Amino acid sequence: MKVNARLARGLVWALALVPLMFFLAGLAAHDFRSVSSVLNMLGRLTGALGLALLLLAAALSARVPGFDQPFGGLTKLWHTHHLLGAGALLLLMAHPLLLALASAAHGYQLPVKVLFPPLDDIATWSGWLALILMMIFLAPSFSFFGQPNYERWKRIHALAGPAVILALVHTFLFSRTMPANLDILIWSLFALLGVGAVAWRLVFSRRAGRLNYSISAVEAVANNVVELTLEPKRPDKHLQYQAGNFVYMTPLDKQLSAGCGEEHPYTLCSSPTETKLRIAIKDLGDASRAIQSVRPGTEVQVEGPYGRFFPVNGKPEQPELWVAGGIGITPFLARLRHFKALGQAANVHLIYAVQDEARALYADELRDLAQAITGAKLTFHYFYREGPISADFLLETCPDLSQRETYICGPLPLNKLVQDHLRGLGRPRYSIHTEEFELL
């Protein structure tokens, strides 16, 4: 799986270099005859490469179900998307500065015109507006600005569409970065990727990519966690998925205090053998807090499935160690429910890390599942009593750890802590699989 993911990422970055190859093929001796010529060449180069990265980042944002599989799941695809976006922003910020410096050799008026163009200069202003929009919608993705509110982040990210359109207007009106008429051909192909993805995300996915469900049951799992049971509106149109997948759910109840009409990602905790979907939702924000009081009968839309946490066939090919934290138990619960539904044995050892006994979700069901499934073992770790998970705890609890594939799902600090312990114990990276709930 990790080899395929590296190949998928490599293909994306190779595609980003296509405009660069044509750009380099069009260079001539006069592009290197002076400092200003070199700066001008670098300014055009950063513009071409930055636009390629921006359009590919837009293409990866389409979120077409199944497209994330070669990348190892949607969270892994998002990582590549973030790198492309950050690279595009840095390159496109350098683009006008390099062009301004290049023109400084001909007096101060040209640099001023580049940085502060006349109002009727549509070609230049479209580029500046695209860059300004990029800085606005990409800023929250940098950790320097802290963790943004999810709903606010989604609204700000809607500026990506206009930014892509303005960047293309700037390019088609202004750019001459490749020989002959290759500019129009290459950028038209890249535009199809970027604009097509934006169109799918904002328009077509709402009609063709979503399934209609209604909430048939609401069960309080804990004080701040509910499990929703979703029933398809049409029995012949229900979601096909693997254990451990997640979906984007959009509630349509206008009486909700927040989140009506907003899509949010949730892991499925039901077995794929069930027609109905089950989703456990923890109060982590305005929308998830409002959903705690949602009523049976509420209509929702479901888009997915996404993610590739476990092997596609669902059957462990070798012994596995699972480490869950808090609400991160959901993909493991789904898989255990699936094993039981199939009557399938599984050599898996689940370590469930929680603060105390009261915060262990589905504790009784997990014990029952561990007893019912041949080869399954369950261990609870209580932070308040035992402190953070240690390498010694992992070895004592799971002595054959070195022979197991490890799957981790929970808060990021827990993910990192367990990964560090495993790496310190000599486990190779390819044997460690993680699923993060941070999708920004």
Q: Is pLDDT of 143 > 80?
A: no
Instruction: Output the six-digit token pair for 175.
Output: 């750019």
Residue with the larger pLDDT of the pair 288 and 130: 130
Q: How far lies 300's CA from each of 47, 71, 329, in Å?
A: 43, 28, 24
Residue with the larger pLDDT of the pair 105 and 229: 229
Domain ranges of the chain: 2-207, 210-306, 320-435
pLDDT tens, residue by residue, 404-428: 999 999 999 999 999 999 999 999 9
- Is the domain covering 2-207 a CATH 1.20.120.1770 domain? yes
The chain-wide mean pLDDT, for the chain, equals 88
Beta-strand pair 405-409/320-325 = parallel
Strand partners, 377: 349
- The reported pTM is 0.83
Report the pLDDT value the prediction gives residue 139, as an integer from 0 to 100: 74
Q: How far lies 432's CA from each of 93, 114, 336, in Å?
A: 37, 50, 19
Residues 46-55: what's their mean pLDDT? 93
Residues 430-440: what's their mean pLDDT? 76
Report the pLDDT value the prediction gives residue 219, as an integer from 0 to 100: 94
Q: Is pLDDT of 203 > 90?
A: no
Q: Is pLDDT of 440 > 50?
A: no
The single-letter DSSP state of residue 310 is: S
Residues 142-171: what's their mean pLDDT? 77
Report the pLDDT value the prediction gives residue 270, as an integer from 0 to 100: 96
Q: Is pLDDT of 262 > 70?
A: yes
Least confident of 153-157, 177-181, 245-249, 383-387: 177-181
Side-chain half-sphere CA neighbours of 95 within 13 A: 25
The type of residue at 103 is: S
Report the pLDDT value the prediction gives residue 5, as an integer from 0 to 100: 79
Report CA 233 to chain centroid distance, whole Å: 28
pLDDT tens, residue by residue, 354-363: 999 989 999 9
Residues 291-302: what's their mean pLDDT? 92
Residue with the larger pLDDT of the pair 400 and 67: 400
In which band, very low, low, confident or very high, does the pLDDT at 249 lie, cut at 50, 70 and 90? very high
In which band, very low, low, confident or very high, does the pLDDT at 160 lie, cut at 50, 70 and 90? confident
Length of the chain: 440
Could you tell me if 152 and 129 are in contact, meaning their C-beta atoms sit under 8 angstroms apart? no
- Is the domain covering 320-435 a CATH 3.40.50.80 domain? yes
Q: How far lies 174's CA from each of 131, 183, 184, 190, 289, in Å?
A: 15, 10, 11, 17, 49
pLDDT tens, residue by residue, 371-407: 999 999 999 999 999 999 999 999 999 999 999 999 9
Classify domain 210-306 at the CATH topology level: Elongation Factor Tu (Ef-tu); domain 3 (2.40.30)
The span from the first CA to the last CA of the chain, in angstroms, equals 23
Give the closest residue to 216 by CA, choosing from 200, 232, 199, 205: 232
Residues 15-34: what's their mean pLDDT? 86
Cβ-Cβ contacts under 8 Å for 5 (sequence gap 6 or more): 70, 71, 72, 76
Three-state SS at 104? helix
Report the pLDDT value the prediction gives residue 159, as an integer from 0 to 100: 87
CATH topology agreement for domains 2-207 and 320-435 = no
